[in-house]
């Protein structure tokens, strides 16, 4: 209702809404900037991803955002292969469950979920160590 006590028409309400400034939002799945990684930095990121498995279950959007960024960086390196991408995706999917508001409650074992995350990260790290005695090379 407007100050005069009568209801605004639909068109008038839409006009008032259109005048309001809108909040600028970044897209949720916006473009991330890819940067080349040295082998030691790639391992550090994998260790960070693996450490996320030890967090308590429940919503943690900032941590999940960081996990998504790590996955993006590692998957899109020139030396990354399909096996590495698969293991990173597996770890990320399990982290999504662990760090969700409700889905972690549906899992039969939170410890089992944590183990799956750590195992996927360990397998991904094996890709890094298999390549040239611990050095990343372009294959």
> What would the pLDDT profile of 25-58 be if each residue is shown by its tens digit?
444 445 678 889 888 899 999 999 999 999 999 9
State the angle between helix axes of 61-75 and 82-98 in degrees (0 to 180), rounded to the nearest 10: 180
pLDDT at site 20: 46
Cα-to-chain-centroid distance, residue 132? 29
Residue 17: pLDDT over 60: no
pLDDT digits (tens, 9 = 90+) for 70-108: 999 999 999 899 999 999 999 999 999 999 999 999 999
Question: Is 68:75 a contact under the CB 8 Å cutoff?
Answer: no
- Whether residue 18 is predicted with pLDDT greater than 90 in this model: the reply is no
Mean pLDDT of 104-119: 95
Distances (CA, A) of 10 to 15, 16, 22, 58, 102: 9, 10, 20, 42, 38
The residue that leads in pLDDT, 124 or 10, is 124
Please indicate whether residue 39 or residue 115 has the higher confidence score (pLDDT). 115
The pLDDT value given to residue 129? 81
Domain borders along the chain are 36-130
């Amino acid at each position: 209702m407007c100050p005069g006590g009568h209801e605004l028409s639909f068109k008038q309400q839409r006009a008032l809404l259109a005048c309001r400034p809108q909040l600028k939002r970044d897209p949720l799945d916006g473009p991330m900037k890819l940067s080349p990684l040295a082998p030691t930095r790639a391992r550090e990121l994998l260790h960070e991803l693996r450490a996320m498995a030890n967090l308590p279950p429940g919503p943690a959007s900032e941590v999940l955002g960081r996990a998504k960024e790590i996955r993006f960086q590692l998957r899109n390196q020139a030396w990354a292969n399909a096996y590495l991408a698969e293991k990173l995706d597996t770890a990320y999917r399990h982290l999504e469950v662990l760090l969700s508001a409700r889905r972690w409650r549906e899992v039969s074992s939170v410890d089992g979920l944590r183990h799956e995350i750590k195992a996927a990260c360990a397998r991904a790290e094996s890709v890094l160590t298999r390549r040239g005695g611990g050095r990343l090379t372009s294959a």
